[in-house]
Amino acid sequence: PSNFDPINLVICKLPDSSITSFEFHGSSKAILNFDQCEFLTKIPDVSDLPNLKELSFNWCESLVAVDDSIGFLNKLKKLSAYGCRKLTSFPPLNLTSLETLNLGGCSSLEYFPEILGEMKNITVLALHDLPIKELPLSFQNLIGLLFLWLDSCGIV
């Protein structure tokens, strides 16, 4: 509708949509879901979304870039990029609230991102079906990790 103002939108789920990019502003956003958006090519600057708790862009097969700002969302608890086959790199992470990270199935992702500080809350990390061959020394900063899924990748 012409009078729709997304500034106060808390949850936005647009799976299977034809969007190529998105831009949101305002501190009210808590959940963004762009799963299976086959034309989405980039996750833009999200630094204007300080209260974001969940961000999911699974199976976005045209996605080639993720902005560095994603690594500094202090309230983010769940981050999932499963099956983004054209994604070759992921920005450094300093996500103190993150509990779950899924990068599985990103078959062009050759390096695990640097971890810039201790991440005590992360309990689940899915890295299966990746071509990565080693983990960075900063991997030891994932001190809360309980479940690590590494099968079908170059490490094991």
The domains of the chain, with CATH numbers, are 10-156 (3.80.10.10)
Helix, strand, or coil (residue 56)? strand
Q: What is the mean pLDDT of the chain?
A: 92
- Assess contact for 49 and 73: CB atoms under 8 A: yes
What is the identity of the amino acid at 104?
Answer: G
Distance, C-alpha 115 to centroid of its chain: 14
CA angle 46, 81, 53 (to 5 degrees): 45
User: Is residue 79 a contact partner of residue 101, using CB atoms and an 8 Å limit?
Assistant: yes
> How many other CB atoms are there within 10 angstroms of residue 128's CB atom?
16
What is d(CA 149, CA 99) in angstroms, rounded to the nearest whole number?
Answer: 14
What is the residue type of 57?
F
- DSSP classification of residue 152: T
- Give Rg (Cα) of the chain: 15
Instruction: Name the stretches of the chain with pLDDT < 70.
Output: 1-6, 156
